[in-house]
């Protein structure tokens, strides 16, 4: 139920999605309950010295499901962070990892601060102290719980976490795998920074490739040429918009904190970012129309609406006015369950967050693997691959009599580097993930949409895992 503020409690909303799917499975009630609840909720307060004096900061780490270890999920720095939000986001991580066959349970962390109000030194102190609180309770470690970036945090915070953990665990050879989303120089993997947005793009590409699905919502096949509105130009929204644009989609609307802009003919994403940096606002971008209210962007007519900001953006209140054909959930929990009911009556296709924004955690998994194997992807095979390909090309030259240019040989023979492998692993995971949930959706008329299909997929996988653990056999 939506509350007096018009929003459901976030964890309740996730539970509503869960219950809808669970009702279509035949798992025992106790098992479903065990999958749904949060296994560990750690809430703590710690003091920090700032230029304004001592401050007490609230932090959380929630481990939603221990069916697989480590558990995994980002850390959010936000003034609005609270226990309900962290629980909901941790639950979404469990389902996300299960849908994508990323072998982790779900977790999430939150620190209730507005990072913009603190200096870099203060943020470092807060991050290191938060990490120490996790260490004290054994809530972090390569095989226990592995944080990552989320709203308000990035590679810088992750390197502070890795360094703090490493300091408390001298000589632990796998210590760097205690956190992902690190800078590449600190054990990060190439491609992690842009991974969530890139995953959104791959997911959309796959969804739009099914002609019959597109026909049902009045669209033609393919992403190129489609009009796209993006809410949020942070890391996820920016990269999703950029890759869609590079593929030939037309970005007609962009919304940020201070307002929104629209241009039917298309907005150049990088030019808008540059303008925002210089002017301090997205508004008054040359050739674009300013929208009175940033929330109006959600109601623009378009083929694809990408909410890439925060939860509870499309609610029972504004859902009747949504004019997109596809809602592509790049954020976590942007659509409430009541909104989804309305969108369904309007024949809007929702591509759910637990599938669509899973690119981040997928590449986090690759980073974790890299840290545990202590070798860069591609290091062992790249040169061998290249030499083999060159030898093959020489044979082709000999047998055809056609001399290949150095440029041709370079492009065709090239061995795969870390970034190539990461992107190809991400694309493969996004394609397979979509096909799995689409097949479930199509297999049974009772399954109303892709979200319920994704939840069924996740529930079945977690249930199988509990079965194989000997719990709830
Ligand atoms: N915070 C991101 C998410 O919501 C990434 C989590 C991770 O990489 O562990 O999916």
C-alpha distances out from residue 31 to 35, 36, 105, Å: 6, 9, 16
What stretches of 149-295 show up as alpha helix (H) in DSSP? 155-168, 195-207, 211-216, 235-246, 269-279
C-alpha distances out from residue 254 to 62, 75, 208, 307, Å: 33, 26, 21, 10
Residue to substitute in 364, 370, 426 for testing ligand 1 pocket (most ligand atoms within 8 angstroms of CB): 364
Among 361, 7, 8, which Cα is nearest to 150's?
361
Residue 256 Cβ contacting ligand 1 at under 6 Å: no
The pLDDT tens digits for 200-224 are 999 999 999 999 999 999 999 999 9
Q: Are 95 and 32 in contact, with CB atoms under 8 Å apart?
A: no
Q: Are 311 and 290 in contact, with CB atoms under 8 Å apart?
A: no
Rounded CA separation 260/212 (Å): 33
Å from CA of 97 to ligand 1 middle: 10
Q: Is the pLDDT of residue 5 over 70?
A: no
- For residue 96, which atom of ligand 1 is closest to its CA? 10
* pLDDT value at residue 292: 83
Residue 70 Cβ contacting ligand 1 at under 6 Å: no
* Fold agreement between 1-37+190-378+416-473 and 39-186: yes
- For residue 151, which atom of ligand 1 is closest to its CA? 1
Rounded CA separation 448/28 (Å): 22
In CATH terms, is domain 39-186 a member of 3.20.20.140?
A: no
The catalytically annotated residue of 96, 108, 382, 461 is: 108
Q: Are 455 and 21 in contact, with CB atoms under 8 Å apart?
A: yes
Q: Is 108 an annotated catalytic residue?
A: yes
Length of the chain: 473
Å from CA of 237 to ligand 1 middle: 14
Q: The domain at 1-37+190-378+416-473 falls in which architecture? A: 3-Layer(aba) Sandwich (3.40)
Rounded CA separation 440/433 (Å): 11
Q: Whose CA is nearest to atom 7 of ligand 1?
A: 361
- Cis ω for the linkage preceding 70 (within 30 of 0): yes
**What does pTM read for this prediction?**
0.96
Among 200, 211, 236, which Cα is nearest to 438's?
211
The pairing of beta strand 105-111 with beta strand 71-77: parallel
The pLDDT tens digits for 316-360 are 999 999 999 999 999 999 999 999 999 999 999 999 999 999 999
The pLDDT tens digits for 239-284 are 999 999 999 999 999 999 999 999 999 999 999 999 999 999 999 9
Rounded CA separation 119/150 (Å): 19
What stretches of 401-472 show up as alpha helix (H) in DSSP? 406-413, 418-443, 450-468
User: What are the domain boundaries of the chain?
Assistant: 1-37+190-378+416-473, 39-186
């Amino acid at each position: 139920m939506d509350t007096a503020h018009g929003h459901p409690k976030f964890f309740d909303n996730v539970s509503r999605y869960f219950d809808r799917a669970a009702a279509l499975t035949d798992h025992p009630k106790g098992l479903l309950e065990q999958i749904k609840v949060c296994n560990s909720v750690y809430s703590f307060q710690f003091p920090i010295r700032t230029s304004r004096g001592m401050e007490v900061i609230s932090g959380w780490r929630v481990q939603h499901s221990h069916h697989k270890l480590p558990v995994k999920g980002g850390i959010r720095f936000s003034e609005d962070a609270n226990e309900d939000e962290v629980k909901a986001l941790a639950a979404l991580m469990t389902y996300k990892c299960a849908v994508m066959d990323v072998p982790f349970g779900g977790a999430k962390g939150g620190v209730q601060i507005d990072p913009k109000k603190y200096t870099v030194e203060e943020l470092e102190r807060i991050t290191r102290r938060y990490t120490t609180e996790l260490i004290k309770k054994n809530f972090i470690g390569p095989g226990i719980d592995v944080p990552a970036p989320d709203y308000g945090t990035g590679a810088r915070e992750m390197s502070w976490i890795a360094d703090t953990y490493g300091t408390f665990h001298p000589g632990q050879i796998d210590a760097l795998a205690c956190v992902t989303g690190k800078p590449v120089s600190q054990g990060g993997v190439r491609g992690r920074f842009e991974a969530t947005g890139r995953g959104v793009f791959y997911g959309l590409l796959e969804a739009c490739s099914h002609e019959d699905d597109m026909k049902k919502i009045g669209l033609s096949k393919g992403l190129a040429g489609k009009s796209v509105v993006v809410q949020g130009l942070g890391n996820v929204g920016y990269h999703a918009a950029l890759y869609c644009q590079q593929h030939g989609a037309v970005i007609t609307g962009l919304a940020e904190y201070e307002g929104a802009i629209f241009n039917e003919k298309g907005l150049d994403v990088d030019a808008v970012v540059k303008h925002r940096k210089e002017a301090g606002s997205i508004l008054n971008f040359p050739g674009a129309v300013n929208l009175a209210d940033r929330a109006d962007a959600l109601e623009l007519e378009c083929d694809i609406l990408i909410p890439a900001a925060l939860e509870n953006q499309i609610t029972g209140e504004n859902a009747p006015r949504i004019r997109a054909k596809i809602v592509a959930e790049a954020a976590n929990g942007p659509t409430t369950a009541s909104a989804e009911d309305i969108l369904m009556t309007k024949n809007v296709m929702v591509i759910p967050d637990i599938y669509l924004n899973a690119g981040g955690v997928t590449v986090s998994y690759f980073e974790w693997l890299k840290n545990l194997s202590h070798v860069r992807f591609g290091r062992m095979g790249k040169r061998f691959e290249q030499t083999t390909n060159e030898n093959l090309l020489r044979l082709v030259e000999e047998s055809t009599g056609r001399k290949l240019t150095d440029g041709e040989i370079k492009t065709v023979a090239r061995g795969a580097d870390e970034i190539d492998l990461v992107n190809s692993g991400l694309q493969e995971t996004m394609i397979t993930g979509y096909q799995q949930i689409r097949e479930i959706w199509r297999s049974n008329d009772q399954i109303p949409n892709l979200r319920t299909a994704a939840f069924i997929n996740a529930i079945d996988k977690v249930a199988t895992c509990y079965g194989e653990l000997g719990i709830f056999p």
